[in-house]
Chain A
Amino acid sequence: MTPDVRSSTPVTGIARWRMPSLIAGIIGLALSIAGYFVNPQTFFRAYLPSFLFWFSIVAGSLAVLMLQYVTGGEWGLMIRRPLGASARTMMWMVLFFIPIVFGMKYLYPWSDTAWAMADENVRQKLDWLNWKRFLIFAALYFALWNLWAWRIRILSLKFYEDRSPFTELKRRKWAASGLAMIVLTLTFASIDWMLSTEPKFSSTMYGITFVVGCGLSALAFVTFFFAQLANTDAMRGVLKPNHFRDLGNLMLAFVMFYAYTTFSEFLLIWYANVHEEIPHYLVRNTGMWGAVAFSVAMFHFFLPFGLLLMRPIKDKPKTIAIVAVIVIVMRYVVLYWLVAPSWYGEHFTWSWMDLTSLVGIGGVWIWAFIGQLRGQTIIPIHETWVEEAIREGALKVNA
């Protein structure tokens, strides 16, 4: 129980989405499991991109939350609660990671030692690319992420009770060290889980591109979430145009940052034209994959970039929700485009199991997310500066 539960305060009504999303999730997972018996290879190759998509929201939430605790600012005060709730669902991500462990031989070519030994390039990477290290590091990443997500939660609860600036400072120190931790761990996690689907390829920009993508996923998700809340009776008048403008500006920054890192990566590899690296882009630029790459340039960068420059679009919940949805959809597209061509080569493949695993993990995740949010106020009313952030309007609205 959090200290700020009030029985008479208005509620947003998001709790009613809890059961439907859980049911959708269970149906999705059940169909995916049925898919496993049809074709285990397709099942695992559909599961990994779907996992990465939802994981990117959770990991991004933790990163943006810690960024907010370090920098402060009105923009983040408003979104702390949903970010925190999303970050604490990391324990569910541990569960969702388990199938990947069992599907390693379908997902990561290096797990076939005979194949790996035959290629000099891959053979030299086997100290890193082996299942023991893969599992130990995955356990380490999840332990660190969960530790920080809950440590920050515990310090926040302590701060609401003692109102001590020392507690706040301690939380800020955890957040600052956590930022260094999460950039490093996400970099290695993206190399382990995504890049190693193509063991011959290597790229120094891969990790930071994934980290920035996680931040973008989380911001787009939270923006969409708040845009939906803005229409509820309880939150009308609390969420103002300037709050959405802040979120829109931040999303714009992440859209640009992602385009910057991903294009830099492409430019350098394209220009160097090295035998080990260039197949990565040759495959992803051929046929349908090329069309997907074009759509990524258009809808992951140019369209949201143009829309987010316009203030009337950022200020209105309805319009910024559309931008957020475009970004969220493109986050999945770009993750699929990064991972799937490693297995399928030039043949574009997208099966029904991709859809079921996406809905399956997502449904259960939304259920867990709302569960973490339940029993709290949407606005963190105990935090310093919160009244300045709201100015007027009801503060106490329960999730």
Chain B
Amino acid sequence: MAIGKVRTGLYGVIAEFTSPADLVTAAEAARDAGYTEMDAFSPFPIHGLHEAVGMKSTGMSALVLGGGIIGGLSGFFMCWYANVISYPLNIGGKPYNSWPAWIPITFECTILLAAFAAVFGMLALNGLPMPYHPVFNVRRFDQASRDKFFLVIQARDPKFDFDRVWKFLEALHPREVVDVPW
């Protein structure tokens, strides 16, 4: 039994390169040719690849900031509510709302929720966990975690035309070009 939609047809066309520089050059060429829906795979982070495949800011920083603000406010509110409303207690003659004493808790809650937003936001925005991905259908794709570099142009790209994409990738001197089924 399949969970979710079972797709058929073509996911995209993938090209395998032997060096990181080739991959960056290829991604830049694809971007300059007007392709927008593409992805690159490499065994390690490559400087400049993000820009080359046209990755935009993901909104991750706004998410973490939001988590931090909510954490800080709720931490402070929790202390204030407990000490001023729920169970007012005279400690050392200090006012009930002794805010400096709430700061460590406020700080910790800020960090906690910001960290949660960072970890779970990262997973959500990456679409993880992802047990299946069409590129796994490519026979040699496990090389992407060893010493080979892949660039895939997806079929949902508005400029996608199978023959033209194939020829375009061939012209970039890859090791090989393969089609990727869903």
Contact = CB atoms under 8 A, between A and B. Distances in A.
B115 to A, nearest CB: 16
A266 B100 contact: yes
A350 interface: no
A267 B92 contact: no
Contacts of A385: none
Contacts of B100: 263, 266-267, 270-271
A177 interface: no
Interface in B83-111: 92, 94, 100-101, 103-104
Contacts of B94: 273
A270 B94 CA distance: 10
Nearest to A260: B107
Secondary structure dominating the interface of A: helix
Contacts of B104: 267
Contacts of A271: 92, 100-101
A267 B101 CA distance: 7
A338 to B, nearest CB: 18
A208 B33 CA distance: 57
Nearest to A310: B61
A266 B104 CA distance: 12
Contacts, number: 14
Classify chain B's interface size. under 10
B74 to A, nearest CB: 20
Contacts of B65: 309
Interface in B63-94: 65, 92, 94
Contact of B92 (A263, A266, A273, A309): A273
Interface residues of A, number: 7
A27 B31 CA distance: 61
Interface string A244-283: 0000000000000000000100110011010000000000
A270 B101 CA distance: 9
Nearest to B47: A391
Contacts of A267: 100-101, 103-104
A366 B104 CA distance: 40
Nearest to A391: B47
Contacts of B103: 263, 267
A267 B94 CA distance: 13
A315 to B, nearest CB: 14
A364 to B, nearest CB: 41
Contacts of B92: 271, 273
Interface string A190-207: 000000000000000000
A393 B100 CA distance: 50
Interface string A120-140: 000000000000000000000
Contacts of B101: 267, 271
A42 B127 CA distance: 67
Contacts of A273: 92, 94
A320 B92 CA distance: 45
Contacts of A266: 100
A52 to B, nearest CB: 26
Contacts of A309: 65
A203 to B, nearest CB: 16
A273 B104 CA distance: 18
Interface string A299-313: 000000000010000
Contacts of A270: 100
B158 to A, nearest CB: 30
Identify which of B94, B100, B101 gathers the most chain A CB atoms within 10 Å of its CB: B100
Nearest to B57: A311
12 contacts: A263-B100, A263-B103, A266-B100, A267-B101, A267-B103, A267-B104, A270-B100, A271-B92, A271-B101, A273-B92, A273-B94, A309-B65
Q: Which 3 pairs across A and B sit closest by C-beta, in order of nearness?
A: A267-B100, A270-B100, A273-B92
Given A267-B101, A271-B92, A309-B65, 11 more contacts: A263-B100, A263-B103, A266-B100, A267-B100, A267-B103, A267-B104, A270-B100, A271-B100, A271-B101, A273-B92, A273-B94
